[in-house]
Amino acid sequence: MHRTLFTLALLLFTGFASAAEKPNVLFLIADDLNNYLGCYGDEKAKTPNIDALAARGVRFEKAYCSFPLCGPSRNSMLTGLYPNSTGILTNSLIFRQTIPSHISLPQAFRLDGYFAGRIGKLYHYNVPNSIGTNGHDDPGSWEMEINPAGVDRLDEGPIFTLTPGQYGGTLSWYASPKSDEFHTDAMMAKDAEWVLERCAKEKDRPFFLAVGFYRPHTPYVSPEVPYFGYYPPETMRPYQKVTDNPEDIPVAALGSYKKEQDQLNDELHRQCAQAYYASISFMDAQVGRVVRALDRLGLAENTIIV
């Protein structure tokens, strides 16, 4: 069976006698995923693959983000240092600019003889503009980098957005008529299968494979069939304006409220919530595809999933 650590964790393995005894590591991460998962009690969420990982692994009930911004948070996670130690407090920096000699998590695996590969977003990316590129990545962390781009990046015209011409930093969504294989996250799952097939042939060398899915980050784009169909808009919670109940909202959260969200009405809110849930289910399906590849290739017994 898989040895699984569910949610974000940092692992470093030392003191193993031989390559054959070193466990492989499959590191999976989603972008802007809240706890809207079945394994966290969300009755709407259809996330069977992540739920299955949680059921047979470790599920954390208290998790704290080191910084409320993507770039500093991801650099913190991948260096093992707080943002005040990395010196990164904005999205535009990578830790090599502030602490260039520091060893990152994947780099530590490389130095221990592992093959370290990245597919998609691990360090900060400007989503969706940086999809298909290295973004603010650290080349020294990886031996292989794969950056596919699907219709969610290449065909943005039909996407509904609260801010015309913007898709990443504002609420935006689209029920795409294109099936899974045309979307970036599904392309990444296919690429992960290819990398795992390669790793299965090189059994004398362990691997650290990181797969960073873009969904459910905005724009909430995923195939209409079947994912949007899982969540009829009328089943979504009715819209409640932020100003309706400000005493329930922390001051810091009110500070992040964006003026364009005043455009939301009940209908748009339900559509947006539907698209967010659909993006989660689409991402979950790709997680399942990658995990099943471990079983198919005989890698599961010696692979830790994070």
By DSSP bridging, strand 3-6 and strand 220-223 are: unpaired
To the nearest 10°, report the CA torsion of 72, 77, 83, 86.
Answer: -100
Residue 70 falls in the annotated catalytic set: yes
In terms of Cα–Cα distance, which of 73, 144, 75 is closest to 110? 144
Q: Which of 2, 124, 136, 217 is catalytic?
A: 124
d(CA 104, CA 76): 10
Q: Are 105 and 146 spatial neighbours (Cβ–Cβ below 8 Å)?
A: no
d(CA 286, CA 5): 18
- For 286, the enclosing helix (H) or strand (E) is helix 266-296
In terms of Cα–Cα distance, which of 192, 68, 75, 69 is closest to 122? 75
d(CA 111, CA 88): 24
Q: Are 168 and 128 spatial neighbours (Cβ–Cβ below 8 Å)?
A: yes
Q: Which of 39, 70, 199, 272 is catalytic?
A: 70
Tokens 């290295």 appear where?
A: 134
Could you give the maximum distance between any two Cα atoms of the chain, in Å?
61
In terms of Cα–Cα distance, which of 98, 131, 113, 144 is closest to 218? 131
Tokens 């009829």 appear where?
A: 232
In terms of Cα–Cα distance, which of 298, 273, 251, 232 is closest to 24? 298
The residues carrying an active-site annotation are: 70, 124
